[in-house]
Structure 1
Amino acid sequence: MFDYIILVPLFPLFGAFLNGLFGVFADKWGRKFVHAFSAGAVGIAFTVLVFFIYQKVGYPVLLVSLIPALGGFLNVLFGYKWNKTLVHGVGVGSIGLSFILSSIAFYQLIQLPVEKRFVEVLFYKWMVSGDLSLDIAFLLDPLSMVMMLVVTGVSFLIHVYSIGYMHDDPSYARFFSYLNLFVFFMLILVMGNNFPMMFVGWEGVGLCSYLLIGFWFEDDYNAYAGNKAFIVNRIGDYGFLLGMFLIFVTFHSLNYSEVFENARHVLKYNGFLATAITLLLFMGATGKSAQIPLYVWLPDAMAGPTPVSALIHAATMVTAGVYMVARCNALFTMAPVSMAVVATVGAVTALFAASMGFAQRDIKRILAYSTISQLGYMFLAVGVGAFAAGIFHLVTHAFFKALLFLSAGSVIHAMGGEQDVMKMGGLRKYIPATFVTAFIATLAIAGVPGFSGFFSKDEILWYAFSSPYGSPILWLIGAITAGMTAFYMFRWLFLIFFGEPRMDEETKHHIHESPKSMLIPLFILAVLSVVGGYINIPEALGGKSHLHHFLEPITEHAYRVEWPHYPHFLEYALMIISVTLAFIGFLAAYWCYVRDPSLVARITEKYRRLYTVVYNKYFVDEIYNATFVRGVLGSAFSSKKFDEVVIDGAVNGTGKSIYLFGALLSKLQTGYIYHYIWGIVIGVLILLM
């Protein structure tokens, strides 16, 4: 019987045959015709291969992560030989197929009864050693499903955008291979059914961030930024590893189901073990998700290409910490001290990072601090026990933050690489499509009613006030941060698109709108930034909280505490206050940067010292450099002496001793026969004696 797998090699062969016949007409018909043969043949063969594997495996979850890895692998091996159409065809197509398979998996999952929406797929036995038994296995449940759809969906749009943004880069294939690898490791992180699988993805996204932040490594600063991200994250990962070891010692397992099911039986509520495990895990989250004190790497991560910034901030790396805390809710709810730490760090980080957005001038660095602040909101949510609200904000943030970064990339593209917002202005007349998308994203992140950010942000603020883990102080910090967010984001918008143009005449002459490959993802993300919040309209506003109910099974093993009940009018009142604060932030930004721009100069001059402190990010990097970096270098100097005198002395001394002993024994090998005979005689006499 004919097996369609034979079509896999035949399609590329057919494409090569057609190009051989008609490629000579490339100059007449255009190279796109030749590219279409090449990309189409490989794309069809790739699709056939994927569905063949799917048919054999029987479940798409395995292929969701495998396909991006395969796409990246092909671009690494052959991308330098391929034309750009084929390179991005493989890179973008693999992520698109992954999104399609994620959608199929989602459809299959929602067909199951709510209590059975927990599917584990074993790939193979990884290792067995004593009590330790690890599998390469995947978990399909509501939480992993939400993350899979966000990661693959948003990443696909970023990949499409990259076609236009990176078109002239000489390392085009390397870029798409790194991008695919990033998505692969993020999928491993969110799809694994055990802690080691999560850790493989955890370290993988760290590696990819290093590669992509320092993508243009010829510039020393880019290489420095990549190193900084990698090293700072190693500090957090050390805590994560210790937490994982402590979990294994306590539960004799690293499988999610075994650990979470037994959490209430093995751990004592508010006990030392529960607190130690969760604080160590959260230490890893502060690094990966850029929270105080390990947030300092993320602003420098803007050194990479803009699509990388969008991918890191919206769909991959920085959301890993929030996902981890939500996944480990059974452990965190056993440790109220840790919950308080998570919520407090999140709230303080949100406020602290928002203040730094007031004075920054780099178009992407402002957005970087907004990401740190919005991640603080997410940790505030999971810290007060509102795990679904934290994931909801993760989803909406993925939409409007990807849109903000890609809009910023469109501005940079139009400005010929310029990133200083003080050298822009009036761009809404030159690039109107980009302006519309940036405006929508700004409305969403500012929490304007009707946009996605409003629903998720206000749900977090409500739980920060009403949760048994929350408090009015946490709500107040979050509400003030909402007003600050509106101020610095509208400051960003007004400085770029409003007022008189501040660029030089040559730059002004070359300003142009981005190509369709960049604009289409912007339009799609703009729609999602508006409608994305409607998947979880709260009951207080007449909705049914669909996402909240969909995610309920993930907290099945969480420690239950009684939540107080408040009337809806209190929720409405708090909502009105937060929206009012956001509106005040908008008015302040409008007055300072549109109505009376000279006001900013007067305020800056009057509070010069405060402005200097904020502009220099409170000198945190300098303090870290003076204490930790130089301290490590100082200890490295003493360690070097210890290595040279003690370690190297012992190693070299052993080598010299063996050499001298060998030289002594070598004297027995004289080459004279009578010496050897006398040796034999003496040996025999000793034996006889």
Structure 2
Amino acid sequence: MSLLALTILFPLIGFVLLAAGRNKLPEPVAAIIGVGAVGLSAIAALFAGSNFVNSGASSQVVHLWTWFNVGGLAPGISLHLDGLSLLMMGMITGVGFLIHVFASWYMRGEEDFARFFSYFNLFVASMLLLVLGDNLALLFLGWEGVGLCSYLLIGYYYQNPANGFAAIKAFTVTRVGDVFLLIAMFLIYQQFGTLHTATIVENAHSVLAGDHSLAIWTALMLFLGAAGKSAQIPLQTWLADAMAGPTPVSALIHAATMVTAGVYLICRTFTVFEMAPEVLQFIAITGAVTLLVAGFAALVQTDIKRILAYSTMSQLGYMFMAVGAEAYQAGLFHMLSHAFFKALLFLSSGAVILAYHHEQNIFKMGGLFYKNKFLFACFAIGGGALAAIPFVTVGFFSKDAILGAVWVQGQQADPLYACLYWVGVAGAFLTSIYTFRLIWVVFFGKENTPYHEIKGVTYWAPLAILGVLSTGLAYFLKAPVEKVLNTAKIPAFNIPEALEAGMHSAEYTAVGVALVGLVVGVVLFAFAYKAVKAFASTSLGAGLANICRNAFGFDSLYNIVFVKPYLLLAKIFGRDPIDGMWLALPAIVQAGHRFGSARQTGSLREYASSMALGVAVILMILIMLQIVGK
């Protein structure tokens, strides 16, 4: 069997074994199956990738069987490996394996341990199917699979009703995006006669050239599908609530992999978007607005995971801004670097949560620097990469490349991108502030909860590896990534020689503003925190904090516009008014029956009176008719 197929088959087998065993499997056995399945998948991916690179081919297709054949539509179960899917496969299996190892430590002692790893394995298999499928139908199957696993894992602690509601919310909002993706697939099949991805990419310029409005609608539907999965405005409200799941779930699904599926989809079908530049601009605007809204929201959160969730939303905004500026490779490299440092931050936060007896409020922690310097180092590296500290973190090399590309587009394509560049710079400023706030409060604030010692190789080894990958050493991955993306014909961003100096100045400006944000964070939270609390207690400060805490009220707006009307309709139609209308006829007959029965009294006097009244009424009617006739 193909090594490429084994990358999916191993976690799928792990899922079947764990699902069949469930509570019958001891924890060590379940951990070996769950972690081992993804480890074998990572090894298979390594060898498959090595063979592919050594072959010098631009792509490789492994046809397994035909899925179905209806009316000429015959999508196959075929796996497609090129530079883009190789990058995604390596990220999913590599980072996924490290998170599985950490989860075997983090979830120890939890009820339904095997159930957790069965969902985790199924997610990895679905995510690999999404990125390796050679047609949109197969991609959509994986797309729905990861959505299902996200729902199951967000609601893993289902005994708490709030977690169930969070899972339903994530499932519902992302399904809205999935409907748009389905519409895009219908439009693509109508125009191309196929869902084969390579054919779509190769022929988009010729097929969509004749109808610009259709190109716009197709690209827009694809983008809205991507926005739902990647938590971009207006479909972003689910991600923060998704933190109800166990922390390894937040690291793997809602930070490192699934939420980047939207970026992958746009880059995979980039030629469709090139036929609709207006949609590319809309994508860039959406990413910019999302990163700004998420940045303000992260400033005032108190839950450690929600802070990181909003930071994830913000970094995804940078990726969308990159692809909107046609800097696809910059966006994809930031996606890879983000997988490293955000997995590091989430797993580190999981260790912090366990160290403080499952406490997630940062203001109930404090003093961790003096208890666990390893966790501080992990947070410092991850936070530095998030804030794009220059040269020493991978975030600097990936995020600033995006801002530089957006600035270049603003100079040579559309002044709109110049405005978006400054929005991105403002987002970098906010990122530095809330990142410092998080680290300072947790590690140097007053200790409010007793510290619990944590240890174990399955705890520190994944963090150490991700920590190294989040430093500036990961810059050396940039050249190989660009090389494999070039083989996949993902366009490199063209920088005119005349704009190179200006682009570097724009990047340095972004770095400078981020460092200023760091200084502001130090001043506000290390030296002037009393003044911050005093401002927060004023009516203006409390109002602003409430707006930011609720992420500008999108949830409340959707509750008024969509949720309450839906519940009202559900209440009305739950009683089946149509069926009630048909019940009116037997009700009339029954009423007539009761009236007629009531008149059968057996009294001759009543019968005679009724007959006399009837005769009088008939005579009156006849007289009136006679008068009218004359």
TM-score in same-fold range (> 0.5):
yes
Matched, 1:94 2:37: yes
Shift of 1:257: 1.7
Shift of 1:253: 0.3
Select which of 417, 424, 429 maps to 2:365.
424
Distance 1:646 1:277, change over 3 A: farther
Instruction: Give the aligned partner of residue 443 of structure 2.
Output: 497
8 A contact 1:453–1:533 mirrored in 2 = no
Select which of 532, 548, 551 maps to 2:482.
548
Shift of 1:554: 3.0
Mapping 1:317-466, distance limit 5 Å: 317-450=258-391, 451-466=393-408
Shift of 1:516: 2.4
Distance 1:90 1:273, change over 3 A: same
Matched, 1:586 2:518: yes
In structure 1, the gaps of 5 or more residues are 1-56, 538-544, 654-689
Distance 1:627 1:271, change over 3 A: same
Instruction: Give the aligned partner of residue 472 of structure 1.
Output: 418
Amino acid corresponding to residue 505 of structure 2 in structure 1:
A
Select which of 542, 545, 548 maps to 1:611.
545
Select which of 482, 490, 494 maps to 2:428.
482
Describe the SS at the equivalent of 1:555: coil
Shift of 1:646: 5.1
Describe the SS at the equivalent of 2:78: strand
Describe the SS at the equivalent of 2:67: strand
8 A contact 1:355–1:614 mirrored in 2 = yes
8 A contact 1:425–1:496 mirrored in 2 = yes
Amino acid corresponding to residue 401 of structure 2 in structure 1:
E
Matched, 1:597 2:532: no
Distance in 2 (CA, whole Å) between partners of 1:429 and 1:523 is 19
Distance in 2 (CA, whole Å) between partners of 1:189 and 1:515 is 34
8 A contact 2:327–2:493 mirrored in 1 = no
Shift of 1:131: 2.3
* TM-score w.r.t. length of structure 1: 0.81
Which structure exhibits the higher relative contact order, with contacts defined as CA atoms closer than 8 Å and separated by 6 or more residues?
2
Describe the SS at the equivalent of 1:128: coil
Shift of 1:313: 2.7
8 A contact 2:329–2:493 mirrored in 1 = no
In structure 2, the gaps of 5 or more residues are 587-630
Matched, 1:627 2:573: no
Describe the SS at the equivalent of 2:388: coil
Matched, 1:78 2:21: yes
Overall identity of the aligned pairs, in %: 41
Select which of 240, 251, 267 maps to 2:192.
251
Matched, 1:576 2:576: no
Residue deviations 1:390-413, cap 9 Å, x none? Answer: 110100000000000001001000
Shift of 1:583: 0.8
Shift of 1:457: 0.2
Instruction: Give the aligned partner of residue 174 of structure 2.
Output: 233
Describe the SS at the equivalent of 1:136: strand
Q: Which moved more, 1:467-476 or 1:170-179?
A: 467-476
Amino acid corresponding to residue 64 of structure 2 in structure 1:
F
Q: Over aligned residue pairs, what C-alpha RMSD do you find? A: 2.0
Shift of 1:552: 1.8
8 A contact 2:59–2:488 mirrored in 1 = no
8 A contact 1:312–1:318 mirrored in 2 = yes
Distance in 2 (CA, whole Å) between partners of 1:365 and 1:345 is 21
Shift of 1:273: 1.2
Instruction: Give the aligned partner of residue 618 of structure 2.
Output: none
Distance in 1 (CA, whole Å) between partners of 2:454 and 2:210 is 58
Distance in 1 (CA, whole Å) between partners of 2:179 and 2:60 is 31
Distance in 2 (CA, whole Å) between partners of 1:536 and 1:647 is 67
Instruction: Give the aligned partner of residue 231 of structure 2.
Output: 290
Residue deviations 1:396-442, cap 9 Å, x none? Answer: 00000000000100100000011001111111111221111111100
Residue deviations 1:161-201, cap 9 Å, x none? Answer: 01111101021000110100111100000010000111001
Amino acid corresponding to residue 8 of structure 2 in structure 1:
S
Instruction: Give the aligned partner of residue 178 of structure 1.
Output: 119
* TM-score w.r.t. length of structure 2: 0.89
8 A contact 1:430–1:511 mirrored in 2 = no
8 A contact 1:454–1:533 mirrored in 2 = no
Distance in 2 (CA, whole Å) between partners of 1:177 and 1:167 is 15
Residue deviations 1:248-300, cap 9 Å, x none? Answer: 11111000122222111111278111111110011111110000011000000
Amino acid corresponding to residue 489 of structure 2 in structure 1:
T
Distance 1:262 1:517, change over 3 A: same
Mapping 1:196-207, distance limit 5 Å: 196-207=137-148
